[in-house]
Chains A and B, each alone.
Chain A
């Protein structure tokens, strides 16, 4: 197969959309690795570690969505192909898990629950917490949720990326397209605001 023919992604995508089988073969070879990585990374966000078989099946689902389902024709910007593929593969993976009903509560992490300690409480046997304590916990995470809501979007996003996903300032600056210095000041400000709000709520 001549590799040079599909050197750039725009040509590759166009050829695939026009049902060129050799282009599709090339596409699969070039991106199947990336699709696998994307599936694994997305499901890790839900704390799921896949078996090899499931992984292969999801990859198959993704590929058939792209080719047989003509999903590839929907991409708007060939330059974002890697990100787009990652999102498509991830969504396919989430749908697969939902279809399999292997997860009753497939939900992404939320900051208020993480800080509020409901996750920690889930790990403890229920007998450890009295109903009153449980109420207190859920009230706390509600308060945090409310305090978070009051933050400006950029600060909230930066804070979530840092606390919830453990991203470094450098990475956050990559995601949010701003210099690391700005990220750091956003996060500092967000923490300050959050502290103030929480103190207000608890009436100190």
Chain B
């Protein structure tokens, strides 16, 4: 069987795959890359993963992360808990409901706190790799800036 489109045996370069996803590849090259990833599962996996992390859904995840960072600074749950506690005094009808909300938001605030997350991380490490692993995580947590500084 002969194929009309010449297949590229060599894997497309990183630049080719990136430009394929951003839609800035010339038509002819685009078809070549497309035909390659249709047949090459490794390149397909790379392409799909890159699309997921950099495409619309990935951007959403990154945005969420950014918003999350901002919220953490604001301590949004603490503020909401305080708010609903204060409100419970003014709205007699929903007194109990608002108190429950205060309680839930308070719990959420505690669970989300950094120290709790650290505890969970250490626990996970301990569960998977024993004491050695846990102490290593602990060490790293004590000097969190170590890797950005290197550059």
Contacts and interface: CB of A to CB of B under 8 A. Distances in A.
Interface of A: 24-25, 28, 32-34, 37-38, 40-42, 44-46, 51-53, 56, 59-60, 63-64, 67, 74-77, 79-88, 90-91, 107-110, 149, 153-154, 156-157, 160-161, 164-165, 167, 171, 174-177
A24 B148 CA distance: 10
Interface residues of B, number: 48
B50 to A, nearest CB: 4
Where chain B touches its partner, the secondary structure class is: helix
B53 A77 contact: no
Contact of A86 (B41, B53, B121, B128): B53
B61 A37 contact: yes
A160 B35 CA distance: 12
A18 to B, nearest CB: 15
Interface stretch (B15-23, B76-84, B90-98, B104-112): B15-23
Given A45-B49, A157-B37, A59 B147 contact: yes
A27 B84 CA distance: 41
Where chain A touches its partner, the secondary structure class is: helix
A157 B18 contact: no
B44 A108 contact: yes
A109 B54 contact: no
A80 B148 CA distance: 24
Given A37-B61, A51-B125, A79-B24, 12 more contacts: A34-B53, A41-B52, A52-B137, A80-B18, A86-B50, A86-B58, A87-B18, A87-B46, A91-B14, A108-B45, A109-B41, A171-B57
A155 B57 CA distance: 24
Given A46-B45, A77-B18, A77-B19, A82 B39 contact: no
B62 to A, nearest CB: 6
Interface in B86-141: 121, 125, 128, 136-137, 140
B62 A33 contact: yes
6 contacts: A34-B53, A42-B45, A86-B53, A86-B58, A107-B42, A110-B41
A149 B7 CA distance: 13
A156 B39 contact: yes
